[in-house]
Each structure stands twice: as structure tokens, then as C-alpha cells.
A and B are shown apart, each in its own frame.
Chain A
Amino acid sequence: MNKIVEMVCIRCPASCTLRVTIKDNSIESVEGALCPRGIEFAKSEISNPVRYVMSVVKVRGGDMPTVSVITRDPVPKDCIWQVMKMLARIEVEAPVEVGDVIIRNVCGTDIIATRRVKKV
């Protein structure tokens, strides 16, 4: 039995409208994607929707009071709050470089710094 699901891809600002045809619980086709990431997105959104999680973490001794962080890979939607809970207890010491791992292995990925904080 065919089922058609319409969704908006969030992988980039193009926001392609995707038409996903599902047959027998597996994806048969994805239409409307301008790039392969859109097709990947449709697949994951149906089976295991994932999201990037971003926040800031307090920094000590830096030229800015916080460093911005993000999950290296998108995490399962239900894991978002787990990530946020881990971030609530963390403080970091300057210097921090873009790409530094802030917490290892949360929900299957690392949390990395996305801003540079110099030591003062």
C-alpha cells in the first residue's frame, strides 16, 4: 500500500518541499529535493528524525563569557533534552578553539565548540 508524505527539508535554507512515497514501510521515492542531502533527510525523518542541538557554555578566563557549542552530528529528536541536560552542568576553561570537543559521546556524537575564545 502506497503512502505519500509531504515534508519540508530543513537541511538548508532552500527548504525544498519533498514528496516521499512509502511502500510497505520502506521509502520508495523522494521527489523535490535539489540535492542528495534532501533525500537523506527524508529517509531519516521517516525512520529516525534527527536534529542538531546548539547552545552556549560558560567559559572561565576568556575574552568572551561563553562559547557556542553544537552536536557534531544531528542527534535523535528524543535525545535533545539529554544533550541540554549534559550542557547545563559544564563550564569550560579558556582558550577554546573552533572544533574542540567539549563533551565526548553524548547520544552517539560529540559536542564541539563553534567559536574561538582567547585566554585573557
Chain B
Amino acid sequence: MKKFRVVIIGAGIVGASIARILSMYENFDVVIVEKEPDVGWGVSKANTSIIHPGHEEDPNKYPLRAKLCVKGNQMWRTWAEELEIPVKWPGELMVFTNEDEEKQAREYIKLAQLNGVPGVRVVYGEELRFLEPSIGDDAKGAVYAPTAGVISPFEAVIAIVENAVENGAKLLTEAEVTGIRVYNSTVKGVETTQGFVEADIVINAAGLYADKISHLAGVELDFYIRPRKGEYILFDENIEPKPLKILHTVPTHITKGVYAITTVHGNVLIGPTAEDLPLEARDDASTSVKGLDYVYREATKLLKKLPPKSKIIRTFAGLRPEPPNGQWLIKAYSNPWGFVNVAGIRSPGLTAAPAIAEYVVELVANTYDVKLIRKGSWNPYRHDITRLSGKSLSEIDDLIRKNPDYGEIVCYCKMVSKAEVLEAIDRMMKIGIKTITLDGLKFRIYTGFGKCQGSFCRWRVAKVVSDKLGIPYYDVVVKKSSYGIGEIKILWSEKVGEENEVSKV
């Protein structure tokens, strides 16, 4: 049996999911190549976190999106359980406030029928207010789709990668692809900033940069990805009321509408905007007063009482990779042989990711004549980090007796202990992360996600990292640069230019 070396470019939700599916088979030796220091730092960490039912996808215009969205929605139920990813399934309400909106909304019921999405129907008045007590007073009715879910997208990527690595995949971080080596019309490997990585098959799941990668391989030279920015507002958990269901306004032709949800972590999240940026602005995730005001205004259509602006704990923006004509580009090429595009995976990309992964692996098997052989030893399960928060006092006491580091709280807002910081660091090193970052820890254990946004806890967490890794405190990396520029006298030392002398009078 020939073992194919597969390099996946991009450790986002799509790349990670493909790695997981590939890791099920004996035929593949998987390496994920990621340019950031950690996984899921592109599109995957800044989106609305919705698992869509699939009734908003037109199967005539976007057959692949529609099919894989519905499939993905089903698959997430299994994946989230196997991988212990925080998820909940509240269902969603597409809220209309007038006749025009209602007419548009009702079109989605037809799509639901075409796509086989269960339970979609219109709800009005009393029933609507029973389903969602916090709904805005202007809401006339809504299209209710019970199979919608909310997931933690960055934790999903982390969990999937952990599981893929456990099953044999490898992760190479801080490795930006600079070239695709093709010889005799066959893929040979990828050139990266960490060196050349051999490959028989290269799968392009590079999100916002998938067009550039495709061009490096010499294919789809007319294909360009447009970054589409979405701004969001996140509120403190301690507010009332919080929406029980996923609420959103009726989608327009460019976007899925503005949402108001309660995230799996208990925060109210509203957004996004939908702003097309120039092609070159692929890393412009800046927020704007105009964008945030728009989000706040739109959300008042959905919620009876929007939390006051004083309860905003974070504002952020994410970019979506818009392909031309909204069509996903999923294709395995014969020339160059071994190159696969999984590009322009815009919404419902997060929802469809598990289904996209299965589809891609099947495509690879068919195109490159691979007789798939399942691994007998493949482990579908991955356990979440042991967390203090949410446990009873006696459970906490037990944990502490086994490991006193559970008794040292470093993050007060989210009640996170030193032991969790250490476990997260171990997990990061285990999957192959080279640089431990405070942001990477934040996405795993929520330190800095709370009301204080790190003003209390960041220096405490950094101390744990500095002690554990044996690196100077100022060298601890926050996201892309270090916490401090050096010791406090560094500028004076540069001025004075002499050696320190030890002196005690």
C-alpha cells in the first residue's frame, strides 16, 4: 500500500477537519502547515460561531454549500461529543418586523424543504414570545429552525487538531508557505519559512490566502478571494435578559444578517457587519465606530432590551474569505497532480467543515486512486482540559488534593487555576506549538476572556508561563510580540553602555 504524504496548508476549521478525517486511514501521513504560532487564528477564531441548519442555502445556486451544510450540522453533534467541544443547540429565529421581511423569510421555508432541513416553520406572536421572552417588541414573527447550534469555534479547532495529532498527524507552526514545488506536473512539496516539506498531495485550506496558494501552484489564476470584514460586540455575562435562542435579522443577498446570541461561554454576542475590503487588506481586522454603531442599532431590532454600552467587554472583527460568485472552490487537480483546492470556504464553512473534510478525502481517494484502509487503532475521542469552574466544592477539593496547583487561582473572572494553565501549556507543546502565547492560552482556558480582559490576570498567567518555560518574564509572548521589551533598566543600559555591577552598601 502506498502511503501518501499529505500536507494541509492552514490549521483552521477546514484544514483541521480534513486532517482528522485523513488520520482515520492508514494511507496517509499528514502534516498540517500553519503560518501563525497557533491553530485557528485566522477566520476560525472571529466569526459568529453558528452551526447553521441549512435552510438559508439555495441548492440550485450553491448545491455543494447546501448539501454539506446540512450534513455538517448533523456531523457536529457527534464530533462535539467525541471531542468534548463546548456546543449547545438552542435553535434559531429569523426575525421579521414587516411584510417585506416576512415574504423574504418565508422563502427560506421552501429552501428548508428542498434541502431536507427538519422542523422549519413560521412562529408568531405569543408562541414567538414564549420561545424567546427577550425578543424585541417590533418582532412580528420569525422563521424558526430548531437544528441550529452555537459552538466555540476556536476550541473546536484546538480539539480537532489535538485529536488529529493523537492519531498521527503532525503540526508545523510558524511555517508560512512561500512556494509549491511542482516537477513533471506533479506536486513534490511545499516551500515554507521553516524549510521544504515533502508532499505527494497538497491540500490548500489557507482561508484568506487560499487564492495566493493556488496561484503558487499555478492553478486558478483568475480566482481571487475578497476579504469581507464583520465587526462584533461582546457583552459581560452578568446581564439580563440573555437570548435563549439564536436570533437574527432576515439575510440580505450579501450576508446572513445580524445576529444576537448567547455564546457557549455565557456572553451576549451581537454582529456582524458585512464590509467588503480591497484584496490587499487581508489582515485588516480593525473595528470602527461606524461598524460597531451599526451592529448595536441592528441588534435593537432583535432584543427587547439591549445591554447598555457600559457592559461591553470586547469589540472585535473577523474576516471572511469571499470567493467569486459565492461558490466554494473544492477541486482536486491532475495537473499539477496532487494539488487540491479547498478555497473560498465562506459561510456556512464552520457548519460544513466536518462534511467538507469527508467530501475532500473522498475526492482525493477518487482522483488519486487511493484505496482507503481504515486504521484499526483510530481514536475518535479527545478529552477537554480539566476545568475548575463549574465544579462543585467537593469536586474542587478532590482536584486540589490530587494536585495543589488547582488551588491557586490565577484568573478571577473565570476562576481558572494554575493547574489549568500548566495543562494548556502541555497540550500546546504536545501538538507541536513552538511559541507559547498568552492568546493561545486564552483560547484554551479563558484567561482574559472575562470582565477584566486581562487587566487582573495577564501578568499572573505570564508569570506561570515564564516560570514553567524558564524564560525571562519580559520574553513571554502575548500574541505576536513579547510582554515587555526587556528589564526595566534596558534603555538606561543602552544609554550608559556599561556592565551591571553588584553593589550593596
Contacts and interface: CB of A to CB of B under 8 A. Distances in A.
B459 to A, nearest CB: 13
Interface string B487-505: 1110011011011111111
Contact of A85 (B488, B492, B500, B504): B492
Given A56-B488, A58-B487, A66-B488, A85 B496 contact: yes
B492 A92 contact: no
Contacts, number: 42
Contacts of A58: 487, 489, 500
Nearest to B494: A88
B505 A102 contact: yes
Nearest to B492: A88
B498 A89 contact: yes
Given A102-B505, A103-B505, A91 B500 contact: yes
A101 interface: yes
A103 B498 CA distance: 18
B489 to A, nearest CB: 5
A84 B488 CA distance: 12
Given A84-B492, A85-B492, A85-B496, A90 B487 contact: no
A92 B496 contact: no
A104 B495 CA distance: 23
A37 B251 CA distance: 70
Q: Which of A56, A60, A89, A101 has the most CB of B within 10 A?
A: A89
A10 B495 CA distance: 30
A93 interface: yes
A91 B488 contact: no
B492 A103 contact: no
Interface in B441-498: 487-489, 492-493, 495-496, 498
B476 to A, nearest CB: 14
B501 to A, nearest CB: 6
Interface in B179-236: none
Nearest to A84: B492
Nearest to A94: B504
Q: Which of A56, A85, A88 has the most CB of B within 10 A?
A: A88
A2 to B, nearest CB: 44
B496 A91 contact: no
Given A58-B487, A66-B488, A103 B503 contact: yes
B475 to A, nearest CB: 14
A104 B210 CA distance: 65
Contacts of B502: 60, 91-93
Given A101-B505, A102-B505, A104-B505, A89 B488 contact: no
A88 B505 contact: no
Contacts of A103: 503, 505
A32 B503 CA distance: 45
Nearest to B496: A88
Nearest to A110: B505
B500 A89 contact: yes
Given A66-B488, A84-B492, A89 B505 contact: no
Contacts of A87: 489, 492
> Which 10 A-B pairs have CB atoms at the shortest separation, nearest pair first?
A88-B492, A88-B489, A91-B502, A93-B504, A101-B505, A90-B503, A88-B496, A91-B500, A92-B504, A104-B505
26 contacts: A56-B488, A58-B487, A58-B489, A58-B500, A60-B502, A66-B488, A85-B492, A87-B489, A88-B492, A88-B493, A88-B496, A89-B496, A89-B498, A89-B499, A89-B501, A89-B503, A90-B501, A90-B503, A91-B500, A91-B501, A91-B503, A92-B502, A93-B502, A93-B504, A102-B504, A103-B503
Given A91-B500, A104-B505, 4 more contacts: A58-B489, A66-B488, A92-B503, A103-B505
